[in-house]
Amino acid sequence: MKNFIIYLAIFAATTIAKTYGQETFEQKAKAIASEIEKITKEEKVYLKDQVELVNQELEKGKINREQADEKKLKLAEEVAARIEERVAIQESKLSDLVQQKVEGRITSLDTVDRYDRFFGKGFKVRYGRKKDSLQYVEKRTTTQLVFAAGVNNLVTDKAVANSDFRYWGSHFYELGWTYNTRIFKNDNLLHFKYGLSLQYNNLRATDNRYFVENGNQTQLVASGINLKDSRLRNVNLVMPLYLEFDTSPKQMKNDKTVYKIQQGFRFGIGGFVGANLKTKQILRYDNPSGHSVIEKAKGDFNVNDFVYGLGAYAGFEGTTLYVKYDLNPLFKNNPIDQNNISLGIRFDMN
């Protein structure tokens, strides 16, 4: 899963041209993705070396097969925990970067000279900065890196009011790679968007509570200690399918009609279908000695394995307001259905 994020981000970022000494949102995201890749490679090399040492001990008869397997399992668990801890730091940096983007404190490729960047698959050769010297090639299908972030919650009894989860403390992230295909050859209005996305849906409980599995049901219960953080994270891999309406005007270049995308108002409507990859509960509190403790519990928490829902977005150029709603209940057998809903900002980067 982490490798999917890493290579997706790096591949997308390397297709974007550098600006005049400015570090853009895309370039900073690429740097974070590269650091995550470096962390993963370092830890894998370390694990490989340590496993080789265990194999040598086994060959020399210093330990038996069962002891070797136990050592290897322990090494794998230690490395996995270390990767998760180091990657979490980079995820925090990514969250801060998105916040800067939303608040307008960091530039994007859309805000610099558009002739100082690659124009994506719709353009073949760049000879200079003059419009007349650009050579165009028709492409009905283009690709975009998609990143979205915002608030997340559960709809209970068809309402979000009086929620058991913090409105601003619960958030979601989505990172994906999409294809955008113009449906009609000589009309730019309708497009079909499809691809793959990772969704991170986080829920932070109110009133010092946390989730407990009670048989085949999952319930919120009060904690006997003061929780500084109580968060349930669901990671889903989904296939988004959207019909997009793009009002970008057609243009004439070298006596040929060119259809650009994301040059004006656009909106999309559709949905997604996929699977839950992982569910984790994270609790943070101080122990009696005053030391901060982070407790992570992985399990299914009776969460639905199959996810599907509806989504829509609307806005100008590459930035849109985005909402998605899970049609499947979050928990399989709870007496009251609760469906995940998210609202945020979406960036489609060519």
The predicted-structure confidence for 68-80, as pLDDT tens digits, reads as follows 888 888 888 888 8
Shared domain for 91 and 171, answered yes or no, is no
Shared domain for 146 and 24, answered yes or no, is no
pLDDT at 107: 58
Last residue of a domain, one of 72, 102, 132: 102
pLDDT at 36: 83
Backbone angles phi, psi at 83, to 5 degrees: -60, -45
pLDDT at 104: 65
pLDDT at 127: 38
Shared domain for 231 and 162, answered yes or no, is yes
Task: Tell me whether residue 108 is in a domain.
Answer: no
Please list the ranges in the chain whose pLDDT falls under 70.
1-23, 101-138
Shared domain for 138 and 93, answered yes or no, is no
Shared domain for 62 and 152, answered yes or no, is no
Task: Tell me whether residue 111 is in a domain.
Answer: no
Shared domain for 126 and 66, answered yes or no, is no
Task: Tell me whether residue 113 is in a domain.
Answer: no
Q: Are 261 and 248 in contact (CB under 8 A)?
A: yes
Q: How is residue 211 written in tokens? A: 């989730």
Domain span holding position 42 = 2-102
pLDDT at 144: 93
pLDDT at 96: 78
Task: Tell me whether residue 109 is in a domain.
Answer: no
pLDDT at 106: 63
Last residue of a domain, one of 69, 102, 135: 102
Task: Tell me whether residue 256 is in a domain.
Answer: yes
pLDDT at 234: 95
Shared domain for 186 and 43, answered yes or no, is no
Shared domain for 56 and 163, answered yes or no, is no
d(Cα 296, Cα 312) in Å, to the nearest integer?
33
Shared domain for 287 and 345, answered yes or no, is yes
Last residue of a domain, one of 73, 102, 131: 102
Shared domain for 273 and 320, answered yes or no, is yes
pLDDT at 8: 47
pLDDT at 33: 78
Total domains in the fold of the chain: 2
Shared domain for 64 and 148, answered yes or no, is no
pTM: 0.61
Shared domain for 81 and 162, answered yes or no, is no
